[in-house]
Amino acid sequence: MRIALIAHDNKKQEMVHFSMAYEGILEKHELFATGTTGKKVMAATNLNVTRFQSGPLGGDQQIGSLIAQNAMDLVLFFRDPLTPQPHEPDISALIRLCDVYQIPVATNVAAGELFIRALERGDLDWRKIIKEREDRHE
């Protein structure tokens, strides 16, 4: 599965701890991240992460573009709801695209933990089935 990791500055520590705690699960998947989040996750773990631009410089939009191409299966986006972000439109657009394409998106660490355990259990395997079906009909 292709997983996007994104965290606002006040949530980066949570993302780092999350990625350390679930490294054993995350390492089995293909990981993507916005610039600074990816850098911090890679510094704290042995995970390999494909990094995009930092969020305010377009990283959210780059991940949104992958969602629109059906190239992202899960988004873990630990948002800071208490700090205004200069790129708020990009953030809304990314979450909107998750809803358009029915991509599971966790906006806080508690939901992230549920999703990662569900992923490990195979609860998101329906994404593979849909992808295979779409590939056959292309």
Ligand X SMILES: O=C(CO)COP(=O)(O)O
Residues at the annotated binding site for substrate? 8, 12, 34-37, 54-55, 87
Q: Which of 9, 60, 73, 99 is catalytic?
A: 60
What number of chain residues touch ligand X (CB under 6 A)?
Answer: 12
State the residue number with the nearest CB to ligand X: 55
Q: Does 60 participate in catalysis according to the annotation?
A: yes
Q: How far is the CB of 124 from ligand X (least distance, A)?
A: 22
Residue 26, CA atoms < 13 Å, CB-side half-sphere: 26
Query: What region does 101 belong to: left with phi over 0, alpha with psi -120 to 50, or beta?
Result: alpha
At residue 103, φ and ψ (nearest 5 deg) are -100, 125
Of 8, 62, 112, 115, which lies in the binding site for ligand X, with binding defined by CB under 6 A?
8
What residues act catalytically?
Answer: 60
